[in-house]
Structure 1
Amino acid sequence: MHPARRYNYWLGGQDHGPADRASGDAIAAAFPIVAEMARANRRFLGHSVAFLAGQGVRQFLDIGTGLPAPGDIAHVVPGSKVFYVDNDPVVSARMIGRPYLEADVRDPEKILRGQTLDLTQPVGLVMLTVLHFVHDDTEAAHAVRTLLRALAPGSWMVLTHGTMDFSTPAGVAAYEKMFAAGGTDVRARTKAEISGYFAGTELVPPGLGPVDQALVTNDLNIYAGVGRKL
């Protein structure tokens, strides 16, 4: 089981196996909105990179890119330079011929050494639903700080992250029990915790909020934000 393949399953793709489907179904049984949230997250990718393209950004560092699917950055911004990063061997096999590095977000130094973008020019750093797989708060913060520090002023960060802020106490308890038992590998964080990742950037209005306001229920949710490096 791997998050990229489970995500592909929720998106209706074909690149997943029995373990990925079993994991996806178990999470969906506890949190029925999860597949809709995955699709909303994908829509946010399209909207946000189109916005960055409108600001003149033509190169992107996509960390946790997942399996190739319609609507990825290269489709949304034709002619852009995209460097992809993930740590799933199945993703690696599917990315042959593209600028790609198999690496973990926990090792931002390796990512910076291996990427081929011009970091003296603005870059769109894209990290969609990847940091919540980093369970250690210090490691997650280090990854973001290191990557942002390497980018030129005027660069952008697009980030989404799972949360239980909108859930009922019973829902939070169910999530914590599932997380402790290894039933989910997502470490949900609060808005305050996720806001900290945007230190040193100016958030685009309306700031950090639900990835899709129409999907705000007492289930799990995803916070989404776009920040410009100062």
Structure 2
Amino acid sequence: MDNNDQLDFSTILATSIHDMKNSLFMLMQSIEDLDLADNLTAHQHQTVADLHYQTSRVNGTLMQLLALYRDEKKQLPIFIEENSVNDLMNDIVERHRLYFQSRHIDVSLNIDKDLFAYFDLDLIKYLLSDIFINALRHTKSLVAITVVQTPPYLVFKVEDDGDGYPQHMLDVNHGTSNSFNANKGRSGLGLLFAKKIAEQHITNQHKGYISLENKPNNRGSIFTLHIP
């Protein structure tokens, strides 16, 4: 094959995921429109909400795979700029309202409306969206999100009242695991992505990081993201 005809896999992957993302966005819009129909039964509304949720998961996984591939090739672009934290979290919650309302899950947000911070908006949105989606999947009745400034970090905390993280995922706190295990029910791909993205945020020698913990007596899990 001539050098001019050689294919750059990263470019092919990025282009393909971009096309799939556009298709998934149109599919999600159609699903949301379908849910507005006034002749659906309660069971049908639930089915539509589940379909919307699974489509969101596929979209998030595609973006994680692309980002992880680019990170491995040292080609992951990072655009740090000032963003509204309140707008970010409200956008994430609103995108999944159809699912958590259909499941009767309470979602609480505790964020200063005037809080602004510097981070890559797209990457942090993908990161927190995945964490939120998984919290919704594993919780029993509640997901609580809190964002506060704890200098030198901006701290995002996502809590649920599910059964907690398995040990192989908690090991990410101690550096004893890369958090990914394809043989487990919760593979941890999202946590591997979260860890990589957090570490890309560096300010004044402070590097971003994530931490996981389970509440006492199997009362749920807590995911925390620290961004300098």
* Same fold, TM-score > 0.5, yes or no: no
Q: Considering Cα pairs closer than 8 Å and 6+ residues apart, tell me whether 1 or 2 has the greater RCO.
A: 1
TM-score for the superposition, normalised by structure 1: 0.23
Q: Which has the higher helix share?
A: 2
